[in-house]
């Protein structure tokens, strides 16, 4: 089951700005992918450590360092010193229970967001924390584990087709944000399909098993909401912000990804509404079913109780019961019973129970 919170209590009592890895360790090896590009050329390297980190910036063009795995705090520390990052930033990168936010540190901007993956096979949604830092001529990005959602961006830079090559670090940072947000749509599509299936199944014939699916859906929407909602402020803040690090043309692109985020949030809220509607269908079907069951019981009891009573009367052993001696007594009683039963059936038909 998706955890509601990471075990964050390990940090209690530590001084502020102490980087401690919070969360599950999702990869063994920490991997650093270095990409340097300008309009003319691209160079790529996979780094072993960050000793060389300090020499990472060649003067012209844009440097992109992508780190997979955030549990090696020593490595993060060296990287942080190489790029002059504030200790609070390093702390947040390795704390995967951070809520989405953006912070402007003047020389660089720090953005945290959540990737959403649906787990393999089973339909469990998982969140993964992504950190993006960008300055004048560099971008640092951090993911908890492979596979990375940033591969298409890297591919486009290599191929040289995309606008990215002609633009600065701000546009690269935007492209990464956009890649994360685009990914939400895919996830919501899947959730939407599961919801529609459940809807159909509920209308056909509700079962307690569906109740669990409903609850699972609802729970996931609560988690999704918690992950995505703050992104609205993040991207709204970036778009409205006055940072000198973001070029005027890039603001138009940030507005676009902001718009995507609002769309995602609207969809989540709509889904929540719909799940509420499905729960009402289920509850009403339970009530309808109960009515159905009680009707059967009442019809049976109402027909057979009087009949059994009549039979009981003529099963009494009084010596003086003249009807018992009548030749037509038995058929007459059977007729009486049939009449009583018929009357009840008419009564039920008039009540529209049958």
For Mg ion, the binding residues (CB under 5 A) are: 16, 92, 96, 127, 143, 145, 148, 178, 182, 219, 256, 274, 277
Restricting to residues 162-181, which ones interact with a second copy according to CB under 8 A? Answer: 162-164, 174-175, 178-179
Contacts of 132 (CB under 8 A, 6+ apart): 110, 111, 112, 113, 139, 140, 141, 142, 173, 176, 177
- Dig out the tokens for 66 from the structure: 């992508």
Q: What's the closest the beta carbon of residue 55 comes to a second copy, in angstroms?
A: 28
- 212 touches a second copy by CB under 8 A: yes
DSSP for 102-167? Answer: EEE-SS-EEEEEEEEEEPSSS--EEEEEEEEEE-SSEEEEEESSSSPTTHHHHHHHHHT-SGGGGS
The verdict on 141 binding a second copy (CB under 8 A) reads no
Instruction: Show contacts with a second copy in window 240-279 (CB under 8 A).
Output: 252-253, 255-257, 259, 262-263, 266-267, 270-271, 273-274, 277, 279
127 binds, among Mg ion, a second copy, none (CB under 5 to 8 A by kind): Mg ion
Q: 3-state DSSP call for residue 78?
A: helix
Least distance in angstroms from the C-beta of 178 to a second copy: 5
Binding mask 11-40 for a second copy (x = CB under 8 A): xxxxxxx-----------------------
Determine, following the binding rule CB under 8 A, whether residue 283 of this chain makes contact with a second copy.
Answer: yes
The DSSP element (H or E) to which 68 belongs, if any, is strand 62-68
What does the chain come to in residues? 354
Residue 236 near a second copy by CB under 8 A: no
What is the residue whose two structure tokens read 């709509």?
Answer: 270
117 lies in the site for a second copy, by CB under 8 A: no
91 and 85 Cβ atoms separated by less than 8 Å: no
Q: Which does 40 bind (CB under 5 to 8 A by kind): Mg ion, a second copy, none?
A: none
Cβ at position 81, least distance to Mg ion in Å = 18
Query: Applying CB under 8 A, what is the total number of residues that bind a second copy?
Result: 121
The secondary structure element, H or E, covering residue 36 is: strand 31-37
Q: Is 123 in the site for a second copy (CB under 8 A)?
A: no
Nearer to a second copy, 46 or 327 (CB): 327
Distance, CA of 82 to CA of 16 (rounded, Å): 21
Cα 291 to Cα 169: distance, rounded to the nearest angstrom: 66
CA nearest neighbour of 28 among 60, 68, 64, 80: 68
Q: Which of 27, 33, 211, 243 binds a second copy (CB under 8 A)?
A: 211
Q: Which of 203, 335, 336, 354 binds a second copy (CB under 8 A)?
A: 203
For residue 204, the partner it binds in a second copy, Mg ion, none, with Cβ less than 5 to 8 A by kind, is: none
Q: Which does 143 bind (CB under 5 to 8 A by kind): Mg ion, a second copy, none?
A: Mg ion
Closest separation in Å from C-beta 33 to a second copy = 18
**CB of residue 87 vs a second copy: minimum separation in angstroms?**
9
Tokens of 246: 């973001």
Retrieve residue 70's tokens: 């955030």
Q: Between residues 13 and 322, which has the closer beta carbon with respect to Mg ion?
A: 13
Using CB positions, name the residue nearest to Mg ion.
Answer: 277
Verify binding: residue 282, a second copy, rule CB under 8 A: yes
Task: Note whether 47 and 29 are within 8 A (CB).
Answer: no
Restricted to residues 69-108, the positions that interact with a second copy (CB under 8 A) are 86, 88, 97-99, 101, 103, 105
The nearest distance, CB 29 to a second copy, in angstroms, is 25
Q: How far apart are CA 97 and CA 95, in angstroms?
A: 5
Tell me the two tokens of residue 91.
Answer: 């702390």
Nearest to 78 by CA among 105, 48, 100, 102: 48
Q: Which does 102 bind (CB under 5 to 8 A by kind): a second copy, Mg ion, none?
A: none
Q: How far is the CB of 337 from Mg ion (least distance, A)?
A: 47
Task: Evaluate whether 93 touches 76 at the Cβ level (below 8 Å).
Answer: yes
């Amino acid at each position: 089951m998706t955890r509601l919170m990471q075990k964050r209590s390990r940090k209690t009592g530590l001084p502020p700005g102490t980087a401690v890895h919070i969360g599950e360790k999702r990869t063994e090896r920490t991997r650093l992918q270095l990409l340097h590009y300008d309009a003319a050329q691209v160079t790529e390297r996979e780094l072993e450590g960050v000793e060389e980190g300090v020499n990472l910036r060649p003067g012209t063009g844009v440097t992109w360092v992508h780190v997979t795995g955030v549990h090696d705090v020593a490595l993060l520390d060296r990287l942080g010193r190489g790029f002059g990052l504030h200790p609070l930033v390093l702390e947040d990168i390795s704390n995967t229970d951070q809520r989405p936010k953006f912070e402007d540190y003047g020389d660089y901007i720090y953005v945290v967001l959540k990737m959403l993956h649906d787990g393999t096979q089973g339909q469990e949604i998982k969140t993964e924390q992504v950190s993006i830092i960008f300055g004048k001529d560099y971008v640092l990005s951090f993911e908890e584990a492979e596979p990375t959602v940033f591969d298409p961006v890297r591919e486009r830079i290599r191929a040289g087709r995309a606008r990215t090559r002609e633009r600065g670090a701000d546009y690269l940072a935007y492209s990464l944000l956009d890649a994360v947000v685009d990914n939400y749509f895919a996830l919501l599509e899947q959730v939407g399909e599961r919801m529609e299936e459940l809807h159909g199944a509920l209308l056909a014939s509700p079962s307690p098993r569906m109740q669990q699916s409903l609850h699972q859906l609802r729970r996931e929407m609560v988690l999704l909401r918690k992950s995505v909602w703050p992104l609205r402020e993040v991207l709204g803040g970036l778009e409205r912000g006055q940072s000198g690090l973001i070029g005027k043309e890039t603001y138009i692109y940030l507005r676009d990804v902001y718009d995507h985020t609002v769309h995602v949030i609207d969809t989540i809220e709509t889904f929540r509404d719909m799940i509420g509607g499905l729960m009402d269908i289920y509850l009403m079907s339970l009530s309808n079913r109960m009515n159905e069951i009680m009707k059967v019981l009442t019809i049976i009891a109402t027909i057979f109780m009087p009949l059994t009573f009549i039979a009981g009367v003529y099963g009494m052993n009084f010596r003086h019961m003249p009807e018992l001696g009548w030749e037509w007594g038995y058929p007459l009683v059977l007729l009486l019973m049939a009449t009583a039963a018929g009357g009840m059936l008419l009564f039920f038909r008039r009540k529209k129970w049958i």
